[in-house]
Amino acid sequence: MQRENKSRSHGGRERPGGGRPDARKKKRKVCYFCANKATADYKNPGFLGRFLTDRGKIMTVRSSGCCSKHQRALAKQIKRARQVGFLPYTVE
């Protein structure tokens, strides 16, 4: 008796299109700063608060939707606002 050549990764089944069946491509968010020609400023803590989690951490690129250039600038401005005292380091 001959054995069939089965793929071990999917339990022997071939999946059309490869990958998980529920893996869908999400539409990428548009960078807020690129779309509105805006800049992050440490003197506007209300605006910077939009990019913080409920625990006070800086949001990731995935969740904020910023491009890498503006994410770096945003992180720098948030850290500057924390140092000056406009934003808290942690939420109590």
| Gap between the Cα atoms of 21 and 70, Å rounded | 34
Check: CB of residue 61 under 8 Å from CB of residue 71. yes
For residue range 36-51, list pLDDT tens digits in order.
999 999 999 999 999 9
Among candidate residues 90, 4, 2, 9, the one with its CA nearest the CA of residue 54: 90
Q: Summarize the confidence of residues 8-33 as an average pLDDT.
A: 68
Q: Summarize the confidence of residues 76-88 as an average pLDDT.
A: 95
Grade residue 59 by pLDDT with cuts at 50, 70 and 90.
very high
* pLDDT reported for residue 70: 94
Task: Identify the CATH assignment for 32-84 out of 3.20.20.220, 3.40.50.720, 3.30.1330.60, 4.10.640.10.
Answer: 4.10.640.10
Domain ranges of the chain: 32-84
Evaluate if pTM is beyond 0.85.
Answer: no
